[in-house]
Structure 1
Amino acid sequence: MTALGQLAKGVQTFVSDVAQGFFEVTHNGFALVGLATVFAVLTLFARPDLRQAGEAQLMGWLRERHVQNLGGLVPEPDAIERATALNPKDLPKQQAAVAYWLSKKYRVAPEPLGALVAEAYEIGAKTKLDPTLILAVMAVESGFNPFAQSPVGAQGLMQVMTGIHSDKYENFGGKLAAFDPVTNLRVGVKVLQECIQRAGSVNAGLRWYVGAANLPEDGGYADKVLAEHARLQAVAAGRAVPLTSPAPLRTVVPPAPAAPALPAEEAAPMPVAVVS
């Protein structure tokens, strides 16, 4: 065999040996990885505490990576359940018209107003109060600002005196619920209903609501509410009502049945809200 042939054979043998060695090392390496994986799985099944700790650590790492990708904004998929919003398009025609009109007049997004209008109609049916009257009180009291507060402590959409009516918030988790729009609406309607029943009519009840029952005049509060009530009644009836128009002819609201006479100590006016 020539020298060139011997060199070629040597190179071939060298390459073959290297390839075989690489295969054996790789094969053994994969085998070791496989065995390590099997042992790890068996260990995790035998030790649930280790498995749970590993899962928690992995989820924590994934969550941190996700937060970093969102620029530090922590994701809360359930946040939508806390949102007080409803598309007015999903409401009955009458309620949708009221929601859109109020949205334009008070420059509030229609979706939150949609939820408030729907709630006002629902609770109005339960309490025998005109829902447009409830909405008119909200409009005059807070302009649909759920975080409004008066100098004397009236708070939220309906400007309820939280300190005086704290008992009414107990079933909703406490006084801070005054700033939850729906809770404030429900508590405010309860107070309004009590005022109307006590006073014997809507007009007189509004004077009680604003804390002016025993005063010579209420600063025009009742007239403001009833004027807005009339506009909303017209909107709900399908009439075109300009945002700055004077109040149309108001529908006569029958007086509420008078409540039984109260003892003298309970007959004092109930301060609830102040004129916005």
Structure 2
Amino acid sequence: MTACHRLAHGLQCAVSVAAQGCFDLARNGVVLLGIAVLFVALVFVARPELRHVGELQLFDLLHRRQIAAWEEAQATTQATTQVTNIPRRPPVTLPKQLPKPQAAVAAWLSKKYRVAPEPMVAVVAEAYELGRRTRIEPTLILAVMAVESGFNPFAQSSMGAQGLMQVMTRVHSDKYRVFGGRFAAFDPLANLHVGVRVLQDCIRAAGSIEGGLRSYVGATAGDGGYTAKVLAEHARLRQVAQGHRVPTIAPTTASRPQPTVVPPTLAWRAEPTAGVAME
């Protein structure tokens, strides 16, 4: 055997040994990974409190990434209204991080609508921030969410209204552009921002809260009791925020009436004539 043949045979053997080693290493790695996943699953089953802590950390991570993505979008997109300007503040995920009135509202809503406290806290905190900037009472915003979707971020009506605020996505798809497109309709905070902007448009164009609510739900005549339900829940939430004890009666999520006309984006008036200032 010539030297070249011996060299080629040696290289072939080395490559074969290296490939077998890599295969064994990958196989052992997969086995170890499977064992680790099984161990973690067993720990979470045996220790529910650890699973709860993990869920909180995951929610906090997703919330931080969402805010970072929105801030990046804001840096490259011209905002058209104050509602879409995302504030630079740390995410809120625990009741103790809220002022006392907001914490009371979050706890009451969480109990009444059977929603986990952590996402409810985030929604309440965002509603209060948007209320401050739009001069719409945050309890009115929360009341709209309660009646529209019962705080189900994945709710969808037969007419195509979607998300927490049941926004007509096909009508207001342009408002979701800053949040990444129309599929953000099922993102709770994105839907909240767009819904508040639509509600603000409706109130200003109608000249009153009652008229704005009727326009928001798309009612051309009667609204099927929608406005009364929203205002009743709004009144209860105001009492909760003021420290009063309010019973958590069974939730009644009103379905939207079948509108004959879906309201387009309403024009802003030169001077606002409606909107409730926060107390």
TM-score greater than 0.5 by the shorter chain: yes
Match of 1:12? none
Query: In 2, distance between residues paired with 1:131 and 1:64?
Result: 52
Q: Deviations over 1:209-232 (max 9, x none)?
A: 0001x32x1101000000000000
Q: Alignment partner for residue 70 of structure 1, among 30, 33, 37? A: 37
Kindly tell me: are residues 219 and 67 of structure 1, through their superposed partners in 2, closer, same or farther at Cα, counting changes over 3 Å? same
Q: Alignment partner for residue 214 of structure 2, among 207, 217, 229? A: 207
Gaps of 5+ in 1: 1-56, 246-257, 262-276
Match of 2:232? 227
Q: Alignment partner for residue 113 of structure 1, among 97, 117, 120? A: 120
Kindly tell me: are residues 173 and 223 of structure 1, through their superposed partners in 2, closer, same or farther at Cα, counting changes over 3 Å? same
Q: Alignment partner for residue 259 of structure 1, among 254, 269, 278? A: 269
Gaps of 5+ in 2: 1-23, 42-53, 64-90, 251-267, 272-279
Shift of 1:71: 3.3
Match of 1:254? none
Query: In 2, distance between residues paired with 1:193 and 1:132?
Result: 14
Kindly tell me: are residues 64 and 201 of structure 1, through their superposed partners in 2, closer, same or farther at Cα, counting changes over 3 Å? farther
Q: Deviations over 1:133-175 (max 9, x none)?
A: 0000000000000000000100000000011100001111111
Q: TM-score, normalised by structure 1?
A: 0.63
1:238 lines up with 2:205 in the alignment: no
Higher relative CO (Cα under 8 Å, sequence separation at least 6) belongs to 2
Match of 1:131? 138
**CA RMSD, aligned part only?**
3.1
Query: In 2, distance between residues paired with 1:170 and 1:231?
Result: 34
> For the Cα contact (< 8 Å) 2:92–2:125, is it kept in 1?
no
Match of 2:171? 164
Shift of 1:89: 2.1
Kindly tell me: are residues 163 and 104 of structure 1, through their superposed partners in 2, closer, same or farther at Cα, counting changes over 3 Å? same
Query: In 2, distance between residues paired with 1:128 and 1:218?
Result: 24
Match of 2:62? 82
How many residue pairs match? The answer is 193
Of 80-89 and 223-232, the range deviating more from structure 2: 80-89
Between the aligned residues of both structures, percent identity stands at: 59
Query: In structure 1, what residue type is equivalent to 2:245?
Result: A
Query: In structure 1, what residue type is equivalent to 2:242?
Result: A
Query: In 2, distance between residues paired with 1:133 and 1:121?
Result: 10
> For the Cα contact (< 8 Å) 1:85–1:113, is it kept in 2?
no
Shift of 1:96: 0.4
Q: TM-score, normalised by structure 2?
A: 0.62
> For the Cα contact (< 8 Å) 1:200–1:259, is it kept in 2?
no
Shift of 1:112: 0.9
Q: Alignment partner for residue 185 of structure 2, among 178, 192, 196? A: 178
Kindly tell me: are residues 134 and 61 of structure 1, through their superposed partners in 2, closer, same or farther at Cα, counting changes over 3 Å? farther
Kindly tell me: are residues 64 and 160 of structure 1, through their superposed partners in 2, closer, same or farther at Cα, counting changes over 3 Å? farther
SS of 1:71's equivalent in the other structure is helix
Query: In structure 1, what residue type is equivalent to 2:213?
Result: L
Kindly tell me: are residues 79 and 108 of structure 1, through their superposed partners in 2, closer, same or farther at Cα, counting changes over 3 Å? closer
Q: Deviations over 1:23-49 (max 9, x none)?
A: xxxxxxxxxxxxxxxxxxxxxxxxxxx
SS of 1:233's equivalent in the other structure is helix
